[in-house]
Every structure is written in C-alpha cells, then in structure tokens.
Amino acid sequence: MGVLTKWLAHLRKVLEGGRMVKRIWGMQRAFEFGRTYVVRPKGKHQATIIWFHGLRDNGSN
C-alpha cells in the first residue's frame, strides 16, 4: 500500500468516524473530532481543498 493510499485511508477514518484511535510509539491515544461539515457543490466538481492545522492545535482558532 502506497503512502498516499495509507494517508487517504487514515483521512477517511477521521472524517467518517469523528473519533479515531491511533498508535504512537506503542501507546494508544484517542482523538475526538468535532462535527464533520459536508458542503454540497452547486455545479460541476472542479477541485478539492483539505485544511490542516498544527499537531497541538485543536482547530478552533
């Protein structure tokens, strides 16, 4: 499985589940994510934008 494929599978889990458990250095940590917002297109799909924020950020700023 390629790096991009793994990353997309990871992103799908995050977006679909709202909650994800990830293994880091043999420890298990649970991350809680807020509500997923889906914006339906008004016309033909032409681009996809994915916003990222810092590792220690909570995304609210």
Q: Which of helix, strand or coil describes residue 37? A: coil
pLDDT in tens, 14-52: 666 555 555 545 555 556 667 777 878 788 888 887 776
Other C-beta atoms within 10 Å of 52: how many?
7
Residue 59 has pLDDT above 80, yes or no: no
Those residues whose C-beta lies under 8 Å from the C-beta of residue 34, and which sit 6 or more positions away, are 18, 59
Taking the C-alpha atoms of residue 4 and residue 34, their distance in angstroms, rounded to an integer, is: 24
Domain coordinates in residue numbering, the chain:
1-43
Please tell me whether the overall predicted TM-score, pTM, comes out greater than 0.75 for this model.
no
Furthest CA-CA distance within the chain? 46
**Cα separation of 36 and 25, whole Å?**
28
